[in-house]
Amino acid sequence: MNDTKLPKGYEPRDVEAKWLEYWEEQGVFTAPAQAERPAYSMVIPPPNVTGSLHMGHALNLTLQDILCRFHRQQGHDVLWVPGTDHAGIATQNVVEKSLAAQGKSREELGREAFVERVWAWKEEYGGKILNQVRRLGASVDWSRLRFTMDDGLSRAVREVFVRLYDEGLIYKGDYIINWCPRCRTALADLEVEHAQAEGKLHAIRYPLADGSGDLTVMTTRPETMLGDTAVAVHPEDERFSHLVGKEVILPLVGRKLPIIADSYVDREFGTGCLKVTPAHDMNDFELGRRHSLDVIKVIDDQGRMSADAGSEYAGLDRMECRQRIVQDLQDKGFLVRVEDHPHSVGHCYRCRAVIEPSVSKQWFVAVQPLAAKARKAVEDGRTEILPRQWERTYFDWLDNIRDWCISRQIWWGHRIPAWTCQACGEMIVAREDPQSCTKCSGKLVQESDVLDTWFSSALWPFSTLGWPDETPELRSYYPTSVLVTGFDILFFWVARMMMMGLHFREDVPFRHVYIHALVRDSEGQKMSKSKGNVIDPLTMVDQYGTDALRLTLTAMAAMGRDIKLSEERIQGYRFFVNKLWNAARFALINLPPAESATPLPTLPAPADLDVRHRWILTRLEQNKRDVAAAITEYRFNDAAMGLYQFVWHELCDWYLEMIKPDLSAEEDKNRESAQACLHTVLSEVLTLLHPIMPFVTQEIWSCLPGMKEPNLAAAAYPVLRPEHEDEQVLRDMALIQEIVVSVRNIRSELSIGPSLKLTVLVRGAEEAVLRTLETNQDTIIHLARLDNFQVGTELTPPKASASAVVQGLEVFVPLAGAVDFQTELARLEKELAKTAKDLDIVSRKVANEDFMAKAPAEVVEKERAKARDLSEKQSKLLGLRTRLQSLME
C-alpha cells in the first residue's frame, strides 16, 4: 500500500487551468507540416469575433477535439486551425451601440476613424470567444491563429475577387436582394430569420380595362401593389385562360397592367390570380424577368414609400402606408374582404427589423458554373456528407441556386477592390490600390460597400493555410480531412467553400463533412433567451467541469438525432468523472509509487492469468477496437457509451471488487498479476477516454507509475494484443456474474443484510460448467458474500430455500437462520396495506372525470405514472408474499 497523489475529490478548475497552460507552453498541438507522417487537418468553423460560447459551439468543439486528439494518438500529423470571423454587420452594430451610448454616430466619426474604432474594439474584446474555446480544451494550433481580416486572409480575398471578376463571374447589376431598412444593407439569405406572424390576407378587386368584369387578387402586403406591373394566372387554369393578353386597371393608381400566364402561379392559393411586383418580391422578380416586366421600386432603402408610389403615399413608413392603402381600397370599393392569415415573415438577424425584398444595384457572384462542380464532387464521392440524408438537401439547394449578392452597405469588412474614375466612368478592379485612372489619369473613387462576411469565410480552408502562396501548410494539409459543422450553414458556408476550393485549388476543401445535431432543451425545444431555456456551457463547466460537459454531449451525439440536454444529465456524467477518479485513487494506493525504485510487474502471458484478469483484458481489447471504429465512423455516442459501460460497470463494479483480495494478499504472485493487469487496464482506458475527457485523464495519468510519456496528449493509441482476447472467458465470466447477481437479488428481495454470510448450492447437469464454477468459487464467495459454496449434479437443498435459475443451473440459498419468516411476512403485509391505500387514492383521482378535464396535462401524466408505479409495486409485493408463504409450509 502507498499514498496516492490524487486528492480525495476531483476539483476541475485548477486541474484544467494547469494542463491548458502546460499543453500550450509545450507546443503539444503545434503541427510541424512534415511529409513523412500522414496528415490529418481541420479548420475550426470560425465563431464571430463578437460571439460568446453557446451549447452548439460546445458540441461542435468537443467533436472536433475528439477527432484531433484521436488522430494524434494514431500517429498522424494533425493540424487544427483556430480563428474568428470579423462578422461585419454584428460587429459594426456592437460598436455603433457603444458610440450611441456616448451620444455619437459612425457618420460623425467618418469611415476611417470608425474602422479604427472597430479594430480597437476587436483588440480589446475580440479574444473573449477564443478564451472560451480554450476552456473547452480545444487542442488547436494556436501558433496558426487566423482572423478573416488579417493581412494574409485580406490578400486572399482580393485575389479571389479580382480573379472572379476577370473571369466574368463577379459582376455589378440590379437584382432583388434582402434589404434591412434599419441596418441599411443587403443581407444574405442566412442573415434573414423567419418567424411566424399573425397577418392579414387582403382580397383586392382589379377591374378589367375593357370594363367586362374584374379579377380578384390576394396579398399580405397591399402597400406593394403600388409597384405592380402585371397580374399572372396559370396557363392551364380554364377560369382565366381567355383573359391572358388583356389588361386590368391597377386600383388607386389607374395604371394598366397586362394579364400574363406563368406556371409559377399556384392555382389553389387564394383566387388563383397573382399580383406581380418585381421590385419587392423574390419570386415576382424572376417572373418579371421571364416576361420583361417593368420594375417599379415603391419602397426606398429606409423602409419609406418612394416618389414612384405616388404623391399621396410618398414618404410614409411602409407599415403606415399599408393601413392607408387598405382604408383607401375600402373607401373606393376595391377591397373585397380581409382574412386572418398566419405566415412566415423575414427579420434581420441582428436588429429584428422586418426585411424588405428590394431591387438594388449590388455586386454578385454568378454561381451556376461553380455550383455544378460542387455538386459533382459530392456525387463522385470526393467529399462525403454525413449523415447521408443531408446530401439531398445539399443537391436541392445547388440545383436551385441564385446568384450570390456579395456587397454590404456597411463600413466594417473587406472593402470591395473596385474604383470608378470620376472623369470618364472607367471601372478598375485591382489587387493593389490604383493611384489614378489607367484610361484618362482621372481621379478614382473606391466602392463604399464591403464584401459579405461569407465571402471571406468561403476561402477559409485554403486562405488559412497561406494561399495564394504555395506554403508548406497548403502542401501538407489541403484538402482538409473533415469539416464538423451544423446543418444550418450547409448551404451558405459549406457549399460556398466547396465552390471556392474546387475553383481555386482544383480540389475539394475537405474529404468529409460531418453534420452534427442541434442541442435542444430537455423537452426538445430549441434553446433561446426569450424562452429562458438556454443552458450556458461555461456555467456548466464552472459547476461540473469541462470533462463532464464534454462526455454528456458526446454520449448524446447520435448521428442524425438532436440532443435533448438538461443540467441533470451533465450532473449525472459528473458522477462518472468521480467514479473514474475514485477508481484511479484505489489503483494508485495499490500500485508501487511513481517515485519508487520498485519496478512495476510486467503483464503475464494469458496462460498465467486466471479468468478475472483474462476477462477484463479481453474486454479492454474489444473496447480498443470498438472505440477506434466508432470515432473513425463519427459514431461519437457509441465510443462514449462503450467506455462508460466498460469503466463503470465492468472495471469498477466487477473487476476492482474481484481483485481486492489479491491486492491485499501476502502472496506476491497473485498481487503482482493483479497490479500488472490493473495498471495496464487503467493506463489504456485513460488513453481511450482522453479524446473525450482530456483533463481528468491527463491528471490521473501524470500520477501513474512507470509512464514513459508524461504527456497523455502525446501518447500513442494502445497497441492491440489479440493474444489476450478470449471468447470463452467472456462466457465463463457471464456465468459467474449471473450467479452472483441472482444471490444479490435474493438478498434484496428478502431483506437479508450484506454482512450475513450465506450458503449457496448450485445444481446442474454439465460437468464442464460445474468445473468452471468450482475453479472460480473463491471469486463467487467474495462477491456474493458467502461462507459456503457447493456445486454438484445431485445436490438436495433444504426445504426453506430461495431459488433462481441461471443458464439452466438451479441456484439455491438456504434461508434457515438468514430470514425471520414471521417478521418478514408482517413487514410485507404492512407495506402491502400502505401500497393498496396509496393506489386507491391515486386511482380515484385518475378516475375522476372533473380532475382529468381541468388538471394540466403534465399533472395528469404524473398521476397516471404514479398509479402505474404503485400497481407494479403491489404486484411485486404480492408475488414476494406468495413466495415467502410457500417457503414457510
Binding residue ranges for ATP: 529
Strands (E), 145-189: 146-147, 170-180, 185-187
Q: How far apart are CA 189 and CA 177, in angstroms?
A: 9
Q: How far apart are CA 221 and CA 319, in angstroms?
A: 9
Strands 786-792 and 758-763: parallel
- Grid cell 479524446 is found at 691
Q: Are 214 and 207 in contact (CB under 8 A)?
A: yes
Best CA proximity match to 677, nearest among 733, 601, 779, 732: 601
Q: Are 86 and 147 in contact (CB under 8 A)?
A: yes
Query: What residue type is 195 in one-letter code?
Result: A
Q: Can you say whether residue 809 is alpha, beta or left, with left for phi > 0 and alpha for psi between -120 and 50 degrees? A: beta
The DSSP line for 90-137 is HHHHHHHHHHHHTT--HHHH-HHHHHHHHHHHHHHHTTHHHHHHHHTT
**How many CB atoms are closer than 10 A to CB 42?**
24
State the alpha helices, DSSP H only, in 533-635.
Answer: 537-544, 546-555, 567-589, 611-632
The DSSP line for 675-711 is HHHHHHHHHHHHHHHTTTSHHHHHHHHTT-TT-S-S-
**How many CB atoms are closer than 10 A to CB 350?**
20
Best CA proximity match to 149, nearest among 138, 141, 157: 157
Quick check: helix, strand or coil at residue 260? Answer: strand
* 221's grid cell: 402586403
Q: Are 354 and 341 in contact (CB under 8 A)?
A: no
Task: Give, in degrees to the nearest 5, the angle at Cα 333 between 314 and 315.
Answer: 5
Query: Residue ranges for the binding site?
Result: 529
Task: Compute, in degrees rounded to 10, the torsion defined by CA atoms 572, 576, 581, 583.
Answer: 140
Instruction: Identify the sign of the CA torsion 179, 185, 191, 196.
Output: negative
What Cα–Cα distance (Å) separates residue 514 from each residue in 385, 462, 519, 635?
Answer: 6, 19, 15, 11
Q: What are phi and psi of 178, to 5 degrees?
A: -80, 125
Longest dimension (CA), the chain: 117
For residue 82, is the peptide bond before it cis, meaning its omega torsion is within 30 degrees of 0?
no
Stated as kind and residue range, the H or E segment containing 206 is: strand 192-207
Q: How far apart are CA 853 and CA 849, in angstroms?
A: 6
Stated as kind and residue range, the H or E segment containing 781 is: helix 777-784
The DSSP line for 264-275 is TS-TTSTTS-EE
Q: How far apart are CA 592 and CA 668, in angstroms?
A: 13
Best CA proximity match to 769, nearest among 743, 738, 800: 738
